[in-house]
Amino acid sequence: AALNGGLRSQVSAALKEGRVAPTELCQRCLALIKSTKFLNAYITVAEETALKQAEESEERYKRGQPLGILDGIPIAVKDNFNTAGIETTCASNMLKGYISPYNATVVQKLLDQGAVLLGKTNLDEFAMGSGSTDGVFGPVRNPWSYSKQYKEKNVPKSYPEDEESNWVITGGSSGGSAAAVSSFTCFAALGSDTGGSTRNPAAHCGVVGLKPTYGLISRHGLIPLVNSMDVPGILTRCVDDAAVLLGSLAGHDPKDSTTTQDGFEPFELPDLTDVSKLSIGIPKEYHAPGLSSEILALWSKAADLFKNAGAKVVEVSLPHTPYSIVCYHVLCTAEVASNMARFDGLEYGHRSDMKDSTESMYAATRREGFNDVVRGRILSGNYFLLKQNYEKYFVKAQKVRRLIANDFVKVFRSGVDILLTPTTLSDAAPYTEFIQEDNRTRSAQDDILTQAANMAGLPAINVPTALSERGLPVGLQFIGRSFQEKQLLTVAKWFEKQVQFPVIQLEEVERHDSDVFQHQKSASFS
C-alpha cells in the first residue's frame, strides 16, 4: 500500500522500517515491466545490474546506513542519457549497439544516492518529435489506453480488433519515461525537455512532469539536441517526489559550464494553506487555436479555484507567443545541424561499409543511420546557416527569442508570481490519427503551449488535473520565475491536492499489487 504514496513520506519510511526490501521493490518493478511489455516503454532493461544495485542497497539498509531517500528506489532513464556499460541508442540506428563509456552527471548522481537503474526508456529518434512514435524501436503506447477509465468510455464496435487499434499515444518525446512512471514500473524517470518533451507526455500520461530552469541541472552526458534550450526533465507520480529528485540533481557541475554558479539548497515543500498573497497570471495568448473546449473549461475552472481560495488572478499578455514555434523551428534546426555533425561513423555508432573516401563514408553512414525527421532538420538547419541566410533567419530568430524572453520578464516584473496555462491542446490522440500528419506539423502544433518556457529558460511543470470525456488524462501547466523552483513546486503541490487526480486502474498493476488501490481518492476535479 505504501508503494502508491510519496517517496519521502511513504516509500522511504517503508524501506527504513524494513516493511519492504529494495530487492523486493526491484523485482516487482521488473516483473511489471515484463507484463506491460506491450507498452513498449523500455528499450533496454538492465535486469542484472538493477538487481545488484538493489542488493547493495539492501545491505546498506540492514546496516542502518541508507544513502538517502533515493536509496533502493527503482528509476528509469530516457535513452538519450549516457549510462556506463548500458546501451544508449537515442532510438536511432545511428547509435544501435553503442555502449556508453560513462554516466551522464544526472545518472551518476542518482546512482551515487543508491537509486536502482531499471533501464532506458523509449523516445522519438534523437528526441525529435511530440508523440514518441518516431523511434526505430517503434511507438510507445499510453498506459491509459488500457485503463478501466478509458475502456469504459470507448467500447469497441468490433472486439478485439478495435481495441488493438484504439490505443492512444503517450505524447513526446519522453513518452517511454512518462509511460514507465504512469504504469508503476518505476518510481521516477528522467526525461529531457527542449520544446516540451517532458511536460507534453506527462500531461497525456497523467503524471507530474517538471522542466527545471535552464542551467539548474547538468546536461553533461545528455546527448544534445539544442544546447541553448535542452534540460533534463523529471517525471514522477506526485509533486513532492519531483522535489526530491530535483534536490538530488540540481547544482553546479564542473563538467557543464552552463550550470548555475550560485549554490543550490535542496528543499522540502511546505503545505501551503494560504494562497491570498499569490498572484496568478493567465496569459491570454495561450488560448491558442485548436485548444479543445474541454481543456479551456478546465483551465478556467482552475483559475477560479485560485480566485476562490483568495489568490489574485489576472489576465496577462505575452504578445510574442505565436512566434515562439517559428523561432524554435529555426534555432532548433540550426543547433541540430551542428550537433548531429558528430555522427560520422568513425569513433562510435553505426558505420557504413562504404570505403571510397572519408566523405562518402560519412555521407553513407548518415544516410543509413538517421531517419527522415533527423535528416530533414539537419538539412533545414544547414539552409538557415548558409552565409546568405544567416542574418535573415538565424540571427533574426535570436532577436525574436529575446522578445519572447522579455515578454516573460515584463509579466513577472508586474507582480505576477506564477503563470497558469494548459499543457496540451487536447487529450492524447489515437495512434492511427496521430500519424496522419507528419512529424514537423505535429511538433509545431503540439509544442505551442510548452515551447516558450524553453525559449526563455524558465521552470515549468505539468500537474495532472482531471480526466477528459474520453477517460484520458489532462494536465495544466505552471510556469515560474528563473531558479524559483521552490515557489513553483509549492503552488503546484497545493493545486495537486485540490484536484485529487484519480489513480490509473490498470489490470496488470492490480494483479501485482492488490493493495495499491486501497488508497484511491474518490473525489475528482472534473
Nearest to other proteins of 71, 344 (CB atom): 344
Count of residues interacting with other proteins (CB under 8 A):
67
Q: Mask 211-250, x = binds other proteins (CB under 8 A)?
A: ---xx------------x----------------------
Half-sphere exposure of 459 (CA within 13 A, CB side): 26
412 binds other proteins (CB under 8 A): no
520 binds other proteins (CB under 8 A): no
- Tally DSSP H helices, then E strands, for the chain: 19, 11
What DSSP string describes 449-474? GTHHHHHHT--EEEEEEEE-TTS-EE
Nearest to other proteins of 9, 360 (CB atom): 360
Residue identified by cell 538539412 is: 379
Q: Residue 257 burial by CB count (10 A; 0-12/13-18/19+): exposed, middle or buried?
A: exposed
Which residues have C-beta within 8 Å of that of residue 382, sequence separation ≥ 6? 337
Q: Are 460 and 283 in contact (CB under 8 A)?
A: no
Bridge partners, 234 (sequence order): 190, 210
360 binds other proteins (CB under 8 A): yes
SS (H, E, C) 117-170: EEEEECCCHHHCCCCCCCCCCCCCECHHHHEHHHHHHCCCCCCCHHHHHCCEEC
Task: Give the burial string for 483-510 (b: 16+ CB within 10 Å, else e).
Answer: bbbbbbbbbbbbbbeebebbbbbbebbe
Q: Is 78 a catalytic residue?
A: yes
Q: Is 355 a catalytic residue?
A: no
128 binds other proteins (CB under 8 A): no
Q: How far is the CB of 124 from other proteins (least distance, A)?
A: 16
Q: How far is the CB of 90 from other proteins (least distance, A)?
A: 14
Amino acid at 338: S
Using the 8-state DSSP alphabet, how is residue 284 labeled?
Answer: G
* Interacting span for other proteins (CB under 8 A) from 53-61, 185-193, 378-386, 509-517: 378-386
Q: How far is the CB of 176 from other proteins (least distance, A)?
A: 23
Q: Is 197 a catalytic residue?
A: yes
Write out the three cell numbers for 238: 506526485
81 binds other proteins (CB under 8 A): no
Q: How far is the CB of 126 from other proteins (least distance, A)?
A: 13
**Selected catalytic residue, list 57, 130, 147, 173:** 173
* Choice from 37, 307, 367, 410 touching other proteins (CB under 8 A): 367
**Selected catalytic residue, list 132, 147, 177, 197:** 197
* Interacting span for other proteins (CB under 8 A) from 18-26, 161-169, 382-390, 496-504: 382-390
395 binds other proteins (CB under 8 A): yes
333 binds other proteins (CB under 8 A): yes
Write out the three cell numbers for 398: 535570436
Which residues are part of the catalytic machinery? 78, 173, 197
Q: Which residues of the chain form contacts with other proteins (CB under 8 A)? A: 98-99, 101, 214-215, 228, 254, 257-258, 260-261, 320, 323, 326-327, 329-330, 333, 337, 344-349, 351, 354-363, 366-367, 370, 372, 375-376, 378-380, 382-384, 386, 392-393, 395-403, 405, 438, 440, 444, 456-457, 482
